[in-house]
Amino acid sequence: MSRQPVIIDADPGLDDAAAILMALASPELDVLGLSIVAGNVPLQDTVVNACKIVGVSGRTEVPVYAGAAGPLVREQVFGKYARIGAFSDDLVARSGIEPSEEHAVRFIVRSAREAARAGEPITICAMGPMTNLALALIQHPDVARGIRQIVSMGGAFTALGHRTPWAEFNVLADPHAAEIVYRSGVPIVVMPLDMTFQALFTAEHVRSFSARGGAAGRALYNLFSTFDRSDIARFGRPGGPIHDATTIAWLIRPDFFTSRKATVGTQVTGLTMGYTYADFYQKMDRTPNATVVTDVDEAGFINLLIERISLFGSAAPGPKTPGG
């Protein structure tokens, strides 16, 4: 099996925890490392959380790199559940893992250049503010040649926002970085709230993490059962989305998703800073720069995430196969 080389750029975070564990359990992916950014919580906490997630997965050979502590231009904002901070030990066990001394931006640059030389471009899954990626692309434009695609969870079009009425959090937290990435020329896949809101995980689904997923699954259960994600007033039914895991699912099972080409950009100033637009009909007379994922097979995605997390309960996933 040909394994896709992947860097996960994240700001853990509940959703990030599920996505990272899904990736580490998937034999289709070669996770080169975790590039961590401030976002849901401050950088010192996102780094602790990333190390704990890697530890509970058993994939301790996967390195963690600390990156940008704040956005490029705007004042810093944190996520809805910023009070979580670093995951407490009773939710996710202490790992003993420490981040690498190499900065996350340098890691991205080095990895992309090595990939370009080898003729095997990497995929970057962006699950948080895209500050690390923007810094890499601004400072070293040549790294774009080593990036096959950036699969980003971010933006909101018809769904409107969840952090403000007009903005999805990852873009809101650093809209200038998002705009740099969108205009970089690197192929972009956008997983917006419009799509992620379609797949809701109920309490029963969350319990299945604990019942089948070993220590990793129990950690996910602890997180998602402690911090309720449901919003019946908005979604019209029980359950809540696990946004970031859609980026990993798209790499593994793209047939679960429907997408359209569009020109995507971000408002970087004024009251509506962080608003994302998608021009599906070329009203702007610009060549589309993104693949926007519009729909998801809810049952397929949910079952895939549960199935991958359950592999942690059968045997410790390894770098070659989830079972060994």
Show which residues are catalytic. Answer: 243
- Report the distance separating Cα 63 and Cα 40, nearest Å: 21
Cβ(29)–Cβ(252) below 8 Å:
yes
Cβ(167)–Cβ(155) below 8 Å:
no
What is the bridge-based pairing of β-strands 147-153 and 257-266? unpaired
Reference 15, options 243, 198, 252; nearest CA is: 243
Residue 41's alpha-carbon distances to 51, 131, 134, 164, 231, in angstroms, are: 14, 14, 19, 17, 22
Secondary structure of residue 298 in the 3-state scheme: helix
Q: Concatenate the DSSP letters of all residues of 243-294 into one string.
A: TTHHHHHHHH-GGGEEEEEEEEEE--SSTTTT-EEEESS-TT-----EEEEE
Cβ(171)–Cβ(77) below 8 Å:
no
Rounded to the nearest 5 degrees, what angle is found at the Cα of 40, between the Cα atoms of 74 and 37? 70
Q: Concatenate the DSSP letters of all residues of 176-243 into one string.
A: HHHHHHHTSSS-EEEE-HHHHTT--B-HHHHHHHHHHSHHHHHHHHHHHHHS----HHHHSSS-B--T
Q: How many CB atoms lie within 10 A of CB 312?
A: 27
